[in-house]
Amino acid sequence: MEKRTVTMAGNPVTLLGKEAKVGEKAENFNLTKQDLSNYNFDESKGKIKIISVVPSIDTGVCELQTIDFNQRASQLKDVEIITVSLDLPFAQSRFCAAKGIDNIVVASDYKDREFGLKYGFLIDELKLLARGIVVVDRDDTIRYVEYVSEVTNHVDYDRAIEESKKLI
Note if 96 is an active site residue. Answer: no
Q: What is the DSSP string of the chain?
A: ---EEEEETTEEEEEESPPP-TTSBPPP-EEE-TTS-EEEGGGGTTSEEEEEE-S-TTSHHHHHHHHHHHHHHTT-TTEEEEEEESS-HHHHHHHHHHHT--SSEEEE-TTT-HHHHHTT-EETTTTEEPPEEEEE-TTSBEEEEEE-SBTTSPP-HHHHHHHHHTT-
- Point out the catalytic residue in the list 6, 48, 62, 79: 62
**Residues labelled as active-site residues:** 62
